[in-house]
Structure 1
Amino acid sequence: MLGHGLAVQAIRARSPAGTKVGFAENLSVAVPVIDEPAYVKAAETVTRERNAGFTTVMLEGRYTEAYLAEPGGGAPKFTEEELKTIASPLDFVGINVYKPRWYVEPSDEPPGYRDIPLNASHPKMQSSWHVLDPEVMYWASRHMQKIWGARSIFITENGCAASDVVAEDGRVYDSDRVMFLRACLGQLQRATSEGVPVDGYFLWSAQDNFEWIDGFGNRFGLIYVNFDTLERIPKLSAEWFREAARQNAVV
């Protein structure tokens, strides 16, 4: 965290005027089971507390008491000057958003919320870890604004793997990825319509590649790559995304 703050200061000191500085973080997002004030408050509390080691301290300049108490003697040591450096002012925040980390509801017992277990039949995308709930896009961006007052938000990663194959006619019909993108961007449009300042969206990824956990196994791209011949084939999702970008709307 201290390295982050020092890097922000170094970039500002050595970059042309107008250079914008921010971070990209894998935000762990709590989603309220019901969109009611008490449930939303519980989800905000969980999101703030369970991102305390990174997002919270970068944007607030302090660690939460619960975070410092959890590891006992292993809590990070810091000075007020170091916290000030860690929280060096940013121009934007970037968040990587794929799935909800928790579903929560309010509770009368400490700490004021309760985790909801994920049902075994909850749908997933191709990756075994990728729990499907497009509403996480809405809540992630809304949490950034509501909890931390973010004034410029970028979705720096979002996407999904799919069981992509080349059909007999030479095309790749990744209908599930089209469904995923339409649903996620619909939720992002919901957020922006409510005034959440989302200034950009980056799809991961443009082409199939070597993924750090799955190697060449799971395909995440809009463009199908034949890893033997290196031939590129735009998937159905590429056509959809191109049209959404052209119209600047969910299509």
Structure 2
Amino acid sequence: MLQAATYAKPKFPDDFCWGVASAAYQIEGSPDADGKGKSIWDTYSHIPGKMKNNDTGDIAIDHYRRYKEDIRLMKEMGVDAYRFSISWPRIFPNGDGMPNPKGLDFYSKLVDELLKAGIKPFATLYHWDLPQALQDKGGWQSRDTAYAFGEYAGYIAENLSDRVNNFFTINEFQNLVDMGHRGIDMVVQGKPVKIELAPGLKLNQKSLNQVAHNAVLAHGMAVQAIRASGKPGTKVGPAEVMFCGVPIIDTPENVKAAEKVTRHLNARFLDVMQTGKYCKSYLEEAGKDAPEFTDEDLKIISSPVDFIGINVYIPKMYVMASDNKAGYEEIPMNVSHPKMSSPWHTFSPEVLYWAARLTDSIWNPKEIYITENGCATSDVVDANGKVFDEDRVMYLRNAMGQLQRATSEGIPVKGNFVWSAFDNLEWTGGYGTRFGLIHVDYETQKRTPKLSAAWFKEAARCNAVV
């Protein structure tokens, strides 16, 4: 009889966080409940034609009312850390001024319920739902929004840091700036498409670069406010989408090329946060369209952080060393490169390793969190009420294997947050794109853990890829 092989299985560090992630507008619903103000997504999603099937987040998965059930499901799945976002207009309906105590109360109860379940709360202060009242005053084009964000961050830290020890300031600077204020061009299934997010503006390059500067300024102000108002030991950092160059072959020359392109791709955001200056290549490329800033701005932007959070899905490009001026050459991705369900999502699990390694080698942070990683699959509930998303299990096994490689080399990755805990509103893609470990029937709101949830539970129990 054949017996199962026995071998020493590598593990993640003992304090590694097995987390899942979500965002307020994508799951909460209840857009007018308990004094909440309107966000730019409440406005944008109701513009005909902006959202697939004209879907909105008005109900989403009704998490605002069902959060206790959702936390129970996360606990059963073996989750020990949950990254959620706080809806700014629930706290400050007008973006600033008088806070809404009922809005704060919801997140206070959410945190208490998480702690009761043994789940560590990680709060994101901004996951794209800007108060509409601030958008009406200029939104991220205005420096005043950065100041308002700092005040909001300080208020949250003052009231929640007795139980929440880790805060992410802003989610995906690159995307909120470029997709929200110009739109980006992509080729999807052979056809060019424009991808945009709320508020759906079409700014020129000069204005776009100023929005980027105001966003990192807001980050710095939030860091300072959390330091001033948070309890001792409160930690803070960004949660940026990592634009990563992956060396096509792992040679010293190609790794150096990948470092160079990765630093340049992240010049407007991670690099200026960590170095306190805009790199020469970015300012030269921007020319007359460079943002206006002061030395004091740069000091604020580079306020020291405790960790860097990176959202990692795909490489920005594969690269190899070159003797051209740039120092690297982009390797075009073959049309036969395997993909997950989302047409933009190439199956490139090695990016988890390289994103962590390059973040470490370029900026040398104290700690790194993978604040998002996951995939959409074509999930179907079968006749027995099961969801066998074996392709997501394949994806997670390979991606987490690459992350385990990183931690085994001493790269300080402290945790991973799978995107996402639940199926939800996938922004302009509506409800047809499912990223969750837990299936949601949007008509009945029934939750069904998928096969991937069972995989996650066993991997978390073993603290290793299984």
Q: Which moved more, 1:122-131 or 1:70-79?
A: 70-79
Give the drift of 1:220.
Answer: 0.5
Which segments of 5 or more consecutive residues in structure 1 lack a partner in the other structure?
none
Q: Mapping of 1:208-219 within 5 angstroms?
A: 208-219=423-434
CA distance in 2, matches of 1:40, 1:117: 17
CA distance in 1, matches of 2:250, 2:435: 31
Structure 1 partner of 2:234: 19
Query: Is 1:231 the equivalent of 2:431?
Result: no
CA distance in 1, matches of 2:286, 2:238: 26
CA distance in 1, matches of 2:297, 2:384: 60
Structure 2 partner of 1:53: 268
Give the drift of 1:13.
Answer: 0.5
Give the drift of 1:167.
Answer: 1.4
CA distance in 2, matches of 1:36, 1:11: 42
Structure 1 partner of 2:355: 140
Secondary structure class of the residue paired with 2:418: coil
| Among candidates 407, 411, 414, match of residue 196 of structure 1 | 411
CA distance in 2, matches of 1:5, 1:216: 34
Query: Is 1:7 the equivalent of 2:236?
Result: no
User: Could you tell me the TM-score, scaled by structure 2's length?
Assistant: 0.53
Query: Is 1:87 the equivalent of 2:327?
Result: no
Give the drift of 1:77.
Answer: 2.0
CA distance in 2, matches of 1:87, 1:65: 17
Based on CA coordinates, which of the two structures has the bigger radius of gyration? 2
Give the drift of 1:27.
Answer: 1.0
Q: Mapping of 1:70-81 within 5 angstroms?
A: 70-81=285-296
Residues 162-209 of structure 1: CA deviation (Å, up to 9, x unaligned): 000011222111010000000000000000000000001101111111
CA distance in 2, matches of 1:89, 1:64: 18
CA distance in 1, matches of 2:384, 2:217: 54
User: Could you tell me the TM-score, scaled by structure 1's length?
Assistant: 0.98
Amino acid at match of 1:125: M
Structure 1 partner of 2:117: none
Amino acid at match of 2:270: T
Q: Mapping of 1:90-109 within 5 angstroms?
A: 90-109=305-324
CA distance in 2, matches of 1:12, 1:193: 32
Structure 2 partner of 1:180: 395
Residues 89-134 of structure 1: CA deviation (Å, up to 9, x unaligned): 0001100001111000100111111111111111111001111100
Structure 1 partner of 2:334: 119
Query: Is 1:30 the equivalent of 2:245?
Result: yes
| Among candidates 363, 382, 385, match of residue 167 of structure 1 | 382
CA distance in 2, matches of 1:207, 1:79: 42
Secondary structure class of the residue paired with 2:239: strand
Residues 197-241 of structure 1: CA deviation (Å, up to 9, x unaligned): 000110111111111131111100011111111111111000000
Which segments of 5 or more consecutive residues in structure 2 lack a partner in the other structure?
1-215
Percent identity at matched positions? 61
RMSD (Å) for aligned C-alpha atoms:
0.8
Secondary structure class of the residue paired with 1:71: helix
CA distance in 2, matches of 1:37, 1:130: 28
CA distance in 1, matches of 2:365, 2:418: 21
CA distance in 1, matches of 2:442, 2:265: 39
